[in-house]
């Protein structure tokens, strides 16, 4: 069981994103911190919270979630905004809207930023 899972099991859901990152496996903590920074810079008005036991961002609806595991970081809810044939997305694609980044792999910051901005645009269009 990962430290993040133990933190949820033993003490309930982490109270905030800082606590979530601190409880995550050491190998993914830098990745989680970097992912957080990228999301916050791409969606500066998004509300950050813990939802479903993981960091979540909302701006006029859900933007994205992410989670850290022993061997990877998952980014959820964003891949659907890219073209199905976009090779920059498909190499990380785990399922229809889940991206997986392995420990030791550099995060594709420009891609993540592009996907988050596309989600912001998508949400803003729905709420007009």
Q: Which of 85, 91, 83, 74 has its CA nearest to residue 115?
A: 83
> Domain spanning 3-126 has what CATH number?
3.90.1150.200
Going from N- to C-terminal start, the domains of the chain cover 3-126
pLDDT by residue (tens digit) across 105-126? Answer: 999 999 999 999 999 999 999 8
pLDDT by residue (tens digit) across 77-100? Answer: 887 777 656 778 888 887 777 899
Token pair, residue 43, equals: 């969606």
pLDDT by residue (tens digit) across 25-79? Answer: 999 999 999 999 999 999 999 999 999 999 999 999 999 999 999 999 999 988 7
Q: Which residues contact 89 (CB under 8 A, 6 or more apart)?
A: 79, 82, 83, 99, 111, 115
pLDDT at 7: 47
18 CB-side CA count, 13 A: 0
Please check the confidence at residue 5 and state whether its pLDDT lies above 70: no
Contacts 24+ apart (CB under 8 A), 91-99: 98/74, 99/74, 99/75
Single pTM value for the model: 0.85
């Amino acid at each position: 069981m990962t430290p993040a899972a133990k933190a949820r099991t033993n003490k309930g859901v982490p109270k905030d994103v800082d606590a979530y990152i601190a409880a995550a496996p050491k190998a993914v903590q830098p990745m989680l911190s970097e992912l957080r920074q990228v999301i916050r810079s791409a969606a500066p008005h998004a509300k950050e919270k813990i939802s479903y036991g993981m960091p979540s961002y909302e701006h006029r609806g859900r933007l994205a979630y992410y989670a850290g595991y022993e061997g990877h970081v998952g980014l959820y809810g964003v891949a659907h905004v890219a073209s199905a044939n976009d090779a920059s997305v498909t190499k990380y694609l785990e399922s229809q809207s889940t991206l997986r980044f392995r420990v030791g792999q550099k995060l594709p910051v420009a891609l993540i930023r592009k996907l988050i901005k596309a989600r912001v645009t998508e949400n803003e269009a729905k709420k007009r």
